[in-house]
Structure 1
């Protein structure tokens, strides 16, 4: 038995040279991906993160769709960038363009220990519709770009002495005084707050310096007075150290033992002039009688 199948439509004639297959229409799918990367710039070359150093951001935009994207620009609040064009500004599918911008670190950034930020890339599809993407660390995410900043909290305490000749006799005596000046300098790269002085010799505990909060490079001072005792004079001097303490932005303690300069922890020595002396008084008593007395 023979089976006959009939098509509901006429089959194209393979022998017809004028017959053409209609082209497959592609659905427009405009899409871009923005990656934001960071490069740290040690502006003053001191190998330490400081306010005033920089971060150069590179914005890389890739056309991840199937149509051309025109007029691609970058907006980035952190760097104060608006409508920054990438090069090239027109991307065909699969093509990539870039732009750069620089940010200057603030002390707040260093105290925070990092800078985190996102940017926005905007372009235009062939039909005029906007195409956008928020930056990420790769094409398939929108994770903020984090730049860690190494924190190095540090203070230096210098203790100096000023002798007070209380009775003005030009000699070191018990009862004279020594005024100690405590100078604390922030030698690190983060703000240190709540700085106080402890000094056993002057019976000082929790003595605040002025100002008590120091930005990097700033100094504050405090003073205390000690009254000399006879034992100090007999010893020929007074030697002592104090301790400065504060907290960094993370709440961790920052301390330093006093020295004669910022780069040492040598005790502060105050020599006392010794002038040993005795007085001999010779007396004569006449115990004789008569003319020979």
Structure 2
């Protein structure tokens, strides 16, 4: 006896992962018609539960810094040089991360770098990301590269000399980057700070003082006033009793401020007394140099500024005798 073709239907119900990471359950029920058509045949439902891996969000970051525009090719940061920072971010966890971005802080004078998405090293199925985006979505195992630039300015260099509130005083610009990403329910995971998330750019620090010393037969105030003698140094073979006026111009010829500037002159006249130079004036072009006490020590001399000292000496018979 040929049986009538039976008709079978299979119903499949699929569960979903909840924010609490419940089991994924599948319930299957089989039904069919009996050969005589007297009724349906149904088996008992069977349910299988699958426990997904526990959600363990994680993110890491590796940061590097390179001077990509180096005006004098010395591998040191000068005013106007451009630093390019590269940040490699990895989703090290088992759950997708949304709104992955980077916050970079530094001790430079200008605004901190703003990292933007540049490329994928490993996309791992992550949604496409727009180059230049500030945040992206990353699936587990994905590796993304962000970049940012910073232009070194004059204040960054000056800061290395110890001026400027809150600026670097260790001859470099230090940066620290942190990567963050959101997972279920908007909870955020953050990279752990480490040496890999730090980067430093060495600055070109050039501390230089130059001294110009001139001897005149007129006192410096007259010279400074622009008299005809201003460019006439003392003549040779001066007689006993001639007063020589020494003028010392100390210039900060470097690129960083210098503190506690003084001068000491070793005099060879014997045994005539010699008075060490005393502070006279300050050409404070920068507006930042100062000699608060107008004493022998200039507390702060900025690049390009000049501290002027003076003293005098009277030629003695002993000087003449020593010169025989």
Q: Same fold (TM over 0.5)?
A: yes
Decide whether aligned partners of structure 1 residues 124 and 101 sit closer, same or farther in structure 2, where only a CA change above 3 A counts.
farther
For residues 53 and 73 of structure 2, the distance between their equivalents in structure 1, rounded to whole angstroms, comes to 57
Q: Write out aligned runs for 1:91-130 (5 A).
A: 91-97=138-144, 98-102=146-150, 104=152, 105-109=156-160, 111-130=169-188
- Note if contact 2:67-2:84 (Cα within 8 Å) is conserved in structure 1: yes
Give the structure 2 partner of residue 37 of structure 1.
64
SS, match of residue 66 in structure 1 = coil
Give the structure 1 partner of residue 111 of structure 2.
80
1:27 counterpart = 2:54: yes
- Note if contact 1:198-1:204 (Cα within 8 Å) is conserved in structure 2: no
For residues 182 and 160 of structure 2, the distance between their equivalents in structure 1, rounded to whole angstroms, comes to 35
- Note if contact 1:186-1:219 (Cα within 8 Å) is conserved in structure 2: yes
- Taking structure 2 as the reference length, the TM-score comes to 0.53
Q: Write out aligned runs for 1:50-65 (5 A).
A: 50=78, 53-65=81-93
1:90 counterpart = 2:153: no
Cα deviation, residue 133, structure 1: 1.9
1:186 counterpart = 2:252: yes
Deviations 1:211-248 (CA, angstroms, capped at 9, x unpaired)? 52223343322111222335667899xxxxxxxxxxxx
Cα deviation, residue 96, structure 1: 1.9
Decide whether aligned partners of structure 1 residues 177 and 50 sit closer, same or farther in structure 2, where only a CA change above 3 A counts.
farther
Deviations 1:89-123 (CA, angstroms, capped at 9, x unpaired)? 22222222212131523421464223333222222
Q: How many residues align?
A: 213
For residues 234 and 174 of structure 1, the distance between their equivalents in structure 2, rounded to whole angstroms, comes to 10
For residues 206 and 316 of structure 2, the distance between their equivalents in structure 1, rounded to whole angstroms, comes to 42
For residues 204 and 44 of structure 1, the distance between their equivalents in structure 2, rounded to whole angstroms, comes to 46
Instruction: Between 71-80 and 198-207, report the one with greater CA deviation.
Output: 198-207
- Taking structure 1 as the reference length, the TM-score comes to 0.58
- Note if contact 2:276-2:311 (Cα within 8 Å) is conserved in structure 1: no
SS, match of residue 118 in structure 1 = strand
Q: Write out aligned runs for 1:251-290 (5 A).
A: none
Gap regions ≥5 residues in structure 2: 1-44, 119-128, 130-135, 162-168, 220-234, 268-272, 283-289, 291-297
SS, match of residue 159 in structure 2 = helix
Decide whether aligned partners of structure 1 residues 102 and 74 sit closer, same or farther in structure 2, where only a CA change above 3 A counts.
same
- Note if contact 1:63-1:93 (Cα within 8 Å) is conserved in structure 2: yes
Decide whether aligned partners of structure 1 residues 35 and 46 sit closer, same or farther in structure 2, where only a CA change above 3 A counts.
closer
Give the structure 2 partner of residue 249 of structure 1.
none
Cα deviation, residue 178, structure 1: 2.2
SS, match of residue 52 in structure 2 = coil
Decide whether aligned partners of structure 1 residues 41 and 222 sit closer, same or farther in structure 2, where only a CA change above 3 A counts.
farther
Deviations 1:65-86 (CA, angstroms, capped at 9, x unpaired)? 1222222222223263487443
- Note if contact 1:196-1:206 (Cα within 8 Å) is conserved in structure 2: no
